[in-house]
Amino acid sequence: MARKQRHEEHPNHERWMVSYADFVTLLFAFFVVMYATARVDESAPLRVSESVREALKEDSFQALVNAFVEDRDTRAGRRDATNDAKRKAKGDGGKADAVLLQQFLPSMDYLSRELATEIREDQVSMRLTRRGLVISLRQAAFFPSGQDIIAPETYEAIGKVAQTIAKLPNHVRLEGHTDSIPIRNARFPSNWHLSTARAISMLELLIQRFQLPKEKFTVAGYADTISVDSNETEVGRRRNRRVDIVVLNLYGLGDEPLGSDQAQDEVIHRLAEDASPARPAPSR
């Protein structure tokens, strides 16, 4: 009986497709995961916009201001039994501070118009800073070189600044500054003496000629330690020689020595009352 002939088995050359299919499946799964984790949340910009809008609402913004003021008190070390009362006073001050900031804008607009010539000739400059409104009077226009006597021809311009100060309840710092060139004579042994003397001369003029109350002011001399320009050029030195009239807001007022804590709280409450918008009289 004839035996069946066995056929030789041929190798399967298509088995690689199984491994390839598995690899493609894994690769697809990998990119799906990558896409899912990297996908931009399209609602995020809308949520950010809503958060900003909510933060800029009056009540929320005021809460941030009050929190900042309270935090500053804590850092200053006021941790005694009267902290609650002081925080309340500072909270009222924070509200007044926002109002006072708005009040500076009309003052700047008024002075910008009234002192347009002086500003154009770089004799006067103004800037609104975190501590208040700074009005810089250049030495070249208001003081003879090396002296602390205010030039009489500048009284009119100073009078306009005095009118603005008189209408605001804020405290005012008069700050004298010089350039870095040393001075040494019988009257002024150093730039410290000259800068302070010029600030005092401005104080005396505002008190005596323009009848502003002395309790409204403090005086400081900084010599050449706080420059607004380079002392390497004549133009820069001319800008550095100045007297700054700083109309303080409540942040700037926080660094002023006002006697007892009770006296400081009284000043803050007075500022808050003066800065609050007038309420309409009740109808009858």
Topology adopted by domain 60-275:
60s Ribosomal Protein L30; Chain: A; (3.30.1330)
Domain ranges of the chain: 60-275
Cα–Cα distance for residue pair 35/39, rounded to 1 Å: 6
Please name the residues in contact with 177: beta carbons below 8 A apart, sequence gap of 6 or more. Answer: 195, 222, 223, 224, 226, 227, 240, 241, 242, 243, 244
pLDDT exceeds 60 at position 196 = yes
pLDDT exceeds 70 at position 202 = yes
Cα–Cα distance for residue pair 224/237, rounded to 1 Å: 10
pLDDT exceeds 70 at position 47 = no
For 247-266, write each residue's pLDDT tens digit: 988 766 766 655 545 555 55
Q: In the beta sheet, which residues pair with residue 280?
A: none
- Encode 261-276: b = buried (16+ Cβ within 10 Å), e = exposed: eeebbebbeebbeebe
Q: Is 0.85 surpassed by the pTM of this model?
A: no
Q: Tell me, what's the pLDDT at 200? A: 97
